[in-house]
Amino acid sequence: MAGAGGSDPLGGPGVVNAFRAWQAAAGGQPRDWHFRAGLTDRPAIPLPCDLLFPGESPAEKTLADWLMAAAPHLVQPIRMLRPAPRARGLRRLFGGGRLGAGEILDASDRLISGMLAAPEGTFQVAKATLTDVTRLTVALARDAVRLGGQVTPGDSGDVVEASAATGLYAVLARPWPEMAGLHELPTVAGPLSLIPMPNDLMLAHVPTGGEVTSGRDLEGLLAAILTRRATLRTVLAGDVGATACLRDLLPCAEGLSASSGPLHDGGMDGGYGLFANRVAATWAHLDAAYIRTLISRHGASVPEMLDGVHRDADLGEDLGGGLFGREVDWMMRHEWAEDAATVLHRRGPFAFLGTDPERLRRWMEQNG
């Protein structure tokens, strides 16, 4: 595996440096990784660059297979709609005008028809995996330390935002209870990506430039498109800067193997489903949906996190949005979370779920 070994410290943050630190430690050459307090260089929202389409290239398949084996709690299989390639020449005559594997949908008679600039087009269903890159960064860093590496804070004590905005996003309530992931839809304002998130939320993302240049513009575009079918409720809108993503790991994919074993947080004996059922049965007095949400963030570490929890009150203060004091304490002691901004934006989608920022800040000050 390229990039492993060496004594030079890695400067962070970012999933690429976390991956390099893990590679080195797994190869018996632990490295010292310096990172800024946020650990990751991006907010905890999914972006189109977090999607892998295993059927499109060997590198994507290798990386997707490794992620499913190494951190299954952080990878969500998903079906995405993409513009279908147009056949040409004889293939157009004898092949029905369609190319590529996967089910082909005629957008003119589908629910999504009102969202497209060219509703007469056809769209292809592609299998994809959506990875929680912020949590993957934490899992890789924890594993690197477990294998003998060092992770230490760098010079900056603040969560550092990337400076150059490369895209705009809006998190909104899903306009339909059941929806397919919609990827790279052509609209009059340019390509629009819609990606389902947990808790019945959805991410809308467009590159900067063109007619959409601000979060308000994006909300206006969504309102014009989506309200033809349902009521739109935007939770939050903003911009996102240049960030490290799964695409940056593809050059390293050749050296990966699903047989190398899971990360520590991904080591769920019996598979995700059986593990979740066992944890829910052990802590049957807690809400099962809450248990599964915890596992989706922390994987195999949840039993250790819940050790000593015998009643709801043992979870600590309710900070809103499904976040309790015990989980924050875990993030502070085991995941390098130093302030409320790190927890809200870089340890989970708490900023979108109703967590109270001021209450969280006070709790961390009192219990840090």
Q: How far is CA 137 from the centre of its chain?
A: 10
| C-alpha distance across the termini of the chain, in Å | 38
- Per-residue pLDDT reduced to its tens digit, 155-209: 543 433 444 557 888 888 877 666 666 777 777 667 788 888 877 888 888 887 7
CA distances from residue 345 to 149, 162, 235, 339, 366 in whole angstroms, order as listed: 26, 14, 14, 10, 20
Determine the pLDDT at residue 5. 44
Query: What architecture is the 258-367 domain classified under in CATH?
Result: Orthogonal Bundle (1.10)
Looking up tokens 């807690």 gives: 286
Pick out the chain residues at pLDDT < 70: 1-7, 85-123, 155-165, 176-181, 188-189, 210, 226-231
Any idea where the domains of the chain sit in the sequence? 10-153, 168-174+190-241, 258-367
The whole-model pTM stands at 0.87
C-alpha angle with apex 328: 282 to 12, nearest 5 degrees? 120
The identity of residue 226, as a single letter, is: L
Assess contact for 218 and 169: CB atoms under 8 A. yes
> What six digits make up the tokens of 203?
């991410």
Those residues whose C-beta lies under 8 Å from the C-beta of residue 236, and which sit 6 or more positions away, are: 170, 171, 351, 352
Rounded Cα gap, residues 299 and 265, in angstroms: 5
Helices (H) and strands (E) in the chain, counts: 12, 12
- Per-residue pLDDT reduced to its tens digit, 221-271: 777 776 655 567 888 888 888 888 999 999 988 888 887 889 999 999 888
